[in-house]
Chain A
Amino acid sequence: MNEVDDPPTTVDPTPVRDPVVDGPPGSSQRVIPLRRPGRWIATVVVLVVVAQIGHGLATNRFFQWNRFGYWFTRPVIVDGLTVTLKVAAWSALFGLLGGVVLALARLSKSPVLTAVSWTYIWLFRSIPLIVLLLFLYNFGALYKTISLGVPFGPTFAHFDESRLASDMVIAIVGLSLNEAAYAAEVVRAGILSVDQGQHEAAAALGLPRVYQLRRVVLPQALRAIIPGYVNQLIGLIKSTSLVYYVSLLDLFGSVETLGSTYPSDIVPLLVVATVWYLILTSAVSIVQFYVERYYARGAVRTLPPTPLQRLRSGLAGVRARYRLEVDR
């Protein structure tokens, strides 16, 4: 605080000073932040607990980290991971498309579309995913062939169900049907969050309906849709573990079968699955950050910094402070 010793400035337009309000002449009236001892104690406690957990993870023989290393990138695990990724990606795509269609139907002025959409969402949110998957798995027994045509009228084409639906297709269909019901509500919430004035402005300009949706409503709705949908997507990635029950060897399925062959490795195998699911979730979260940032354009005056930019400015701050110390 070397400013305290500075002589009073001559440019000061108010020669009469109140020593209580103004402080000593020349001092900057800097506010000293409140001390928070409770926060420091809590931080120390949390750090100790975290260190203990880390220690336990590293040293507990139960986890058999050498076996984890052995299994982590085995081809059989990678094959399972590929199945998980395929099922999750296709279901996410079809689920979202279905969700958008259902949400638009639900918001339409047609009572029939609204009712059908409502019923679909009600039905598929009520059926447990595992029940739905097993039901589809046994679908072949219920309907031997599938025909395309007018109900009670002519038939255009028919398929043998057992050849049409591989286990992979059954899994994707089941997950997509379920996902669409949830995605519909997320999308609907997003569309409802767009200000009525935006619809009116687009209508007043006479913009075609499709253009209104594509350029005005959906981009603004996406800001509200993304966090909800990513939540949904992460749930979906984990739900793919259920496809094991329709005889598909996904990541969890591979781990489970390997576990029965190598019973002593069951814990490291479960850790392998856990770490892979963690990686998938993290990848989705990183993508979410940048997509959200992209759609924040216009909604905020300045975009929030990316973690990399924050790191860089943080380092610059530390360096500047260091240089200041050195100069003294």
Chain B
Amino acid sequence: MNILYIAYYTIITNVRDYRTFVKRLFMPLLITLILGTALQGVFEPTKLEKTSVVYYNADAGDVSRNFDEFLKLEAITTLLNVKEVKSEEEGMTSVKDGDASAFIYLNQDYSKAIMDKKKSAISIYSNNVKNSRVTIVQNIVDSFIIGANTTEALAKLDSKMNYDAKSGGIEEVPVSVGGKTPGSMDYYAVTMLMLTLMAGALYGSDEMSQDFTGALGRRLRSSPMRPMQHFVGKIIGCVTLLFVQAMIVYFFTKVAFDANWGANPGMIMLVVLTLAVLSTALGVMISMLSKDQARSTSILNMLVPIMTFIGGGYVKLDLEQLMYLSPNYLGQTIIFNNIYGGTVGSASCFIALWTIIAVIFIISGWGARRKLA
């Protein structure tokens, strides 16, 4: 019963410290409101305008003429604004000066190399290969090459089938974005939920510091209560408190901000619960290892915003593998995939991963506690 007493008193003492509780509860909601409103434009989908491309064909062969014709297809001209230049240098200059997004170049031996079955390529030059417009150009050129290869393969098979290369390879589909991609409010509701959960590590840290390292801790340790009961009771109290707080954020953003949380609240609750365990465990471990409440709080006050930042919690980022170090990123990825129909296979893997990490944190915290006396 002592475990439940400890959990109960942990919850009520934190709720009664209403100033801190309200601050921890409403800060993420306030940030959601501010960022969600201010960055609305960033999250709105934009119409795909034509991509400006310069083109120089130095080859006079049949294959390259086919490419000339390909670029004049209606499917292509709706996507690309192709301007022929008179030399390779002129094309390069246009790209350098920013007059065109990409420069497509066929060298003088292009057709001959293909006819001789030698290696050949259509070159694409750009200032920024990560630019989405360059990707469009690459896809269009790829679709020509695939078409040419297919035609050749069919010819070899003596087939009577024809390959119709009228598609540009990229389709502009008029989509209704509602429910398919997150708006700013939807995005920040999720990322701030993650912030709430990670900031909840402070509950674990504060409670453990007060009850295990301070005067109260010494008094409790001299009581007949078993240390394990105390430890587990504290963790249950913190996790419950944090879970409830996170669910308030969830319901509040859903009702007041009309945030899209999808149709699977069970999955969201599972993510919230397991992340609450992870976050509490992190706070417990740091407080037990640092043996000082102020030091533990300082560490978490630095760590939580960093995890939120690299997880793209404040602004959308693409930090590639680094983002996987942030529990915020993992959590919000599961939730976004759940809401917007992405890959859900990784969810169980992520949840299992951070649950194992939480267990390791708790065991480390317990081990450090034994050295406190």
Chain B binds chain A: no
